[in-house]
């Protein structure tokens, strides 16, 4: 890929359209709710921080020896969204069983028009390529279950979700709707109050510790893993440690000074967190 802000040659743009098409096929062959066996490295939002993604791969290990589960949030906000998503899609075609790419609210046309990916595609390539990425995003899986005990999702829970078959039965290709199950999975957030309340984002809901407890009991899971919000210490537990938020970009926007984190899930489902920043080896 060309350096940041450089226009891509026509032959490369064509190859990227083919890459998007191939990934559509791979995503559609996967379940909307992936059922996985450990081990995995679980990664939170990357948002176009391409250099940090490269460092993360170097730090945590190369595919396929290290297997990665990304929770979504690949594009927008950062300066190199195009490079970031291309690298991840390439890895998906090379190692389809060893890298999982879940969908977030930013893998959606309306969000990319606001937060930068559309403009980057238009500047470095063309709108046609952007549309190809949107078509691939519309086929991404929404959630994953690691050995039936660790539920992975970008956003959070939904008041509509009472059985995992509801996720499996979601049809694709699809845009993220303004409400409903898929919307909540990529948009909702935990909060400290009980029950369900409207989300300050203007979309979906916030859910309380009681909702988390009911979910883990009724669904038979031990832990909910999500991203979608900056965790000021890299990761943050809630709901009596039944839910954890992981954020994998350090010094987000160059002003927060936060560390990043990833979560390792071992073959026996032991969970360990690694926290790092720009000074970490």
Which residues are marked as active site?
A: 106
Q: How far is CA 249 from the centre of its chain?
A: 12
Q: Are 226 and 204 in contact (CB under 8 A)?
A: no
Paired sense of beta strands 99-101 and 68-70, if any: parallel
Q: Are 211 and 195 in contact (CB under 8 A)?
A: yes
| Torsion-angle region of 155 (φ positive above 0: left; ψ -120 to 50: alpha; else: beta) | alpha
Q: Are 85 and 72 in contact (CB under 8 A)?
A: no
CA 172 to each of CA 3, 136, 141, 183: distance values in angstroms, whole numbers, following the listed order? 34, 10, 9, 14
Decide: residue 159, CB within 10 A, 0-12 exposed, 13-18 middle, 19+ buried. middle
The CA distance from 260 to 181, in Å, is 29
What string of H, E and C letters represents the secondary structure of 63-103? Answer: CCCCCEEECCCCCCCCCCHHHHHHHHHHHHHHCCCCEEECC
DSSP state letter for 45: B
The CA distance from 71 to 241, in Å, is 19
Structural tokens at position 23: 């990934």
Q: 3-state DSSP call for residue 204?
A: coil
Q: Which residues pair with 238 in a beta bridge?
A: 243
């Amino acid at each position: 890929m060309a350096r940041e802000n450089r226009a891509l040659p026509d032959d490369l743009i064509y190859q990227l359209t083919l890459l998007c098409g191939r990934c559509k096929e791979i995503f559609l062959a996967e379940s909307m709710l992936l059922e996985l066996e450990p081990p995995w490295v679980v990664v939170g939002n990357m948002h176009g921080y391409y250099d940090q993604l490269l460092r993360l791969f170097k730090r945590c290990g190369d595919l396929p020896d290290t297997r990665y589960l990304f929770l979504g949030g690949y594009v927008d906000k950062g300066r190199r969204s195009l490079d970031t998503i291309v690298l991840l899609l390439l890895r998906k075609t090379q190692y389809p069983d060893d890298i999982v790419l879940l969908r977030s609210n930013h893998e959606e046309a309306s969000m990319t028009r606001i937060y930068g990916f559309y403009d980057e595609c238009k500047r470095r390539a063309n709108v046609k390529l952007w549309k190809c990425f949107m078509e691939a995003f519309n086929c991404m899986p929404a959630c994953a279950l690691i050995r039936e005990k660790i539920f992975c999702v970008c956003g959070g829970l939904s008041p509509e979700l009472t059985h995992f078959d509801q996720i499996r039965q979601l049809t694709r290709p699809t845009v993220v709707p303004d409400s409903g199950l898929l919307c909540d999975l990529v948009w909702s957030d935990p909060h400290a109050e009980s029950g369900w309340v409207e989300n300050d984002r203007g979309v979906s809901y916030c859910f309380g510790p009681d909702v988390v407890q009911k979910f883990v009991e009724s669904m038979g899971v031990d832990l909910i893993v999500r991203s979608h919000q900056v965790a000021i210490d890299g990761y943050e537990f809630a709901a009596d440690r039944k839910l954890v938020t992981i954020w994998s970009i350090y010094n987000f926007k160059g002003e927060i000074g936060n560390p990043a984190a990833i979560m390792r899930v071992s073959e026996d489902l032991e969970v360990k967190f690694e926290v790092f920043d720009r000074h970490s080896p």
